[in-house]
Amino acid sequence: PTISFTVYAVVPADRQRGDRLTIGAVVVPPARFQGVDPPANNQDVATTRVIQPDPGVRLRFDPSPFPVGTGGRLIADYRNADPEATATAATLHITPPAGVTIEMLPEGCWWAETAVRCTLGDLAPQQTGTVALPVTAPANLAANSLTARAEIWSWVPDHPAEMDDNIATATTDVIRPNVYVSARGPAAIIGWGSVYAYEVDYGNLYRLRPDLTRAAAGVSLRVTLPSDVQFGRASITPDRVNGRVLEWDLGALAPRFQSPQPLTLVVQTDVPAGRTLRMEALIATVTPGDDPADNRAVVETPVDPPPTVEQGQARIRLAINSEFDPLTGGANPTDAVYVTEGTQFAWPAGETLRYTPRLTEIVFPNEWDPLLLFPHYEYRARIIGWRVTGYRDDRGVWHDPRVNAGTTGCSPSPTGLPGCGHAYLSGATLAELRANRPVREDEIARQARVYWSHAPLPAFSGQRGHAYGLERLAPVGIRVAVDAEVWIVNTAPDPDDLWDGEPPEIPVAPLPPPQQQVYEETFTVNLVAPRSVVGPGSLPR
């Protein structure tokens, strides 16, 4: 009879693919047949080569980069790279990214805690295959990247030196849209007929990582105007107008899109002072994943009452000149006219002082910042003239200049206020005053004159002026007043410049009437010895 049996052996782990293994078998006959049985076929040797499977896996996301709020796939491509050996009972383990959802697993796969396990069965030599997990990144996913891991194993293991491809990882960026809107308007306006503009900017930018911005589709912009305004025009015509609600269909905005020009909306108010006008802008997209934090902009604009005219504060100095100054009559008509640094200066006794006041600064307590987006009020002023209101002698006694006004009398002030009146030199408007043009000699010669000397006094030779006899060489004084008319104007943009056609006839809130203001200053004159002894010194211009 023929008897067969099987011997199972384990290949040592240190054997390499291609190594040869030899096994021998010997049959020993019973004693009664020894010498009778031919020994030639009582033993045999079998030789075989070592073969091993070579399973491997690669992992990838589709699409990559991965958009939030939409679905895709996590794909594991597996293989048995060995040309001869079968990878017996192969299994695949996939650990998906945190935060994603997987609605349905492929056939042969199941959840094993946080990983997906798939049975692949026996992988024939050089067999390949794919397992694709349907993955969805939720719209509120916070991560900016996704990372997954896959492992493949078989009952017959790889050789340790060939196990590098048994584990794979995949990482992809996460992209998302972020449409935004911002708006601005005037810091304040007046009511009843003011025409002004709002400016709206919009775009699509994921601010945390601009390079991960996704295109935004189906973008819409809606602006709700205040209830107390009338819509005039827009730099981009709205697609729909429903009362105070304006809507634009912006379509698709590319990644990192920013509006090239602000959207300008012109409106006209019909509301009294004391109210606040509230405009709201809202932007949205149908592409999931948008962060709503910057999708809304609100502009609140207070309606100011017309301001009151406040008393201004002026800084007054004296421009002075003497006909005996060596520079008087020179080539430059302003060389011999000096402006005092403060309210005290020296002057030679016995020499006529020709002088006129200079407003070197004039400010109002509630002037508005010219850097505001839409400044709407501005002070205007007109200098009516100036007056000499008093002279102080060496004893400290003030004298009315109308009593001692030279041989030709004293001109009354146009305002009817006390003092001897004169025209203000070189500029009567507020802008001209602030430009502060220098005074010429021929101009100051027609202004006020005063003379101090020891009594008895000489005559003024028929010229207008004031002369005072002193008992001693001591400080004297001059008091002057500048008379101005001050008013406020509305400098808001001309409605015709903003509105298409004629804006509605809504009366603008009335402004306060002009106000007369007086700016006064007192100067101390330190009299010194006549010019023949000591000159007036180098006075600042």
Q: What is the DSSP string of 121-151?
A: EEE-TT-EEEEEEEEE--TT---SEEEEEEE
If pLDDT is split at 50, 70 and 90, which confidence band does 198 have? very high
Q: Is the pLDDT of residue 371 over 50?
A: no
Min mean pLDDT across 168-177, 328-337, 461-470 is at 461-470
Q: What's the average model confidence in pLDDT over 39-58?
A: 81
What residues contact 108, with CB distance under 8 A and at least 6 apart?
118, 119, 120
What proportions of the chain, in percent to the nearest 5, are helix, strand and coil?
5, 45, 50
Rounded to whole angstroms, the Cα distance separating 60 from 118 reads: 17
**What is the DSSP annotation of 188-215?**
-EESSS-EEEEEEEEEE--SS-GGGBPP
| Assigned token pair, 171 | 């990482």
Give residue 279's pLDDT: 97
Instruction: Let me know: does 354 contact 391? Beta carbons within 8 Å.
Output: no
| Assigned token pair, 481 | 């007043």
Q: What is the pLDDT of residues 175-195, one digit of tens each?
A: 999 999 999 998 888 766 777
Instruction: Let me know: does 464 contact 408? Beta carbons within 8 Å.
Output: yes
Rounded to whole angstroms, the Cα distance separating 307 from 305 reads: 6
Q: Is the pLDDT of residue 273 over 50?
A: yes
Q: Is the pLDDT of residue 5 over 70?
A: yes
Identity of the amino acid at 308? T
Q: Is the pLDDT of residue 129 over 90?
A: yes
Rounded to whole angstroms, the Cα distance separating 316 from 86 reads: 107
| Assigned token pair, 125 | 């030599």
If pLDDT is split at 50, 70 and 90, which confidence band does 260 have? very high
Whole-number average pLDDT of the chain: 86
Give residue 52's pLDDT: 81
Q: What's the average model confidence in pLDDT over 524-530?
A: 92
Give residue 494's pLDDT: 56
Any idea which residue has 């203000």 for tokens? 424
Q: Residue 293 carries which DSSP code?
A: G
Q: Which of 196, 185, 202 is nearest to 251 (CA)?
A: 202
Q: Is the pLDDT of residue 357 over 70?
A: yes
Instruction: Let me know: does 413 contact 401? Beta carbons within 8 Å.
Output: no
Number of residues assigned to the chain? 541
Instruction: Let me know: does 258 contact 228? Beta carbons within 8 Å.
Output: no
Q: What's the average model confidence in pLDDT over 196-207?
A: 95
- Top-confidence residue, 378 or 76: 76
Number of neighbouring beta carbons within 10 Å of residue 293: 9
Indicate the Cα dihedral angle 190, 191, 193, 198, nearest 10°. 70
Q: What is the pLDDT of residues 232-256, one digit of tens each?
A: 889 999 999 999 999 999 999 999 9
Reported as half-sphere exposure (CB side, CA atoms, 13 A), residue 127 has a value of 15
Q: What is the pLDDT of residues 383-426, one digit of tens each?
A: 999 999 999 999 999 999 988 876 566 888 888 899 999 999 97
pTM for this model (two decimals)? 0.62
> In a 3-state reduction of DSSP, which class is residue 509?
coil
Provide φ and ψ at 277, rounded to 5°. Answer: -95, 130
Give residue 91's pLDDT: 96
**Kind plus residue range of the DSSP H or E element containing 367:** none
Q: What's the average model confidence in pLDDT over 116-125?
A: 96
Any idea which residue has 């708006």 for tokens? 183
Cα angle, residue 397 at apex, residues 395 and 402 outer, rounded to 5°: 135
If pLDDT is split at 50, 70 and 90, which confidence band does 135 have? very high
Sign of CA pseudo-dihedral 355, 360, 364, 365: negative
What residues contact 463, with CB distance under 8 A and at least 6 apart?
406, 407, 408, 449
Q: Is the pLDDT of residue 11 over 80?
A: no
How far, CA to CA in Å, does 250 sit from each of 210, 239, 253, 298?
21, 10, 8, 20
> In a 3-state reduction of DSSP, which class is residue 162?
helix
Q: Is the pLDDT of residue 501 over 70?
A: no
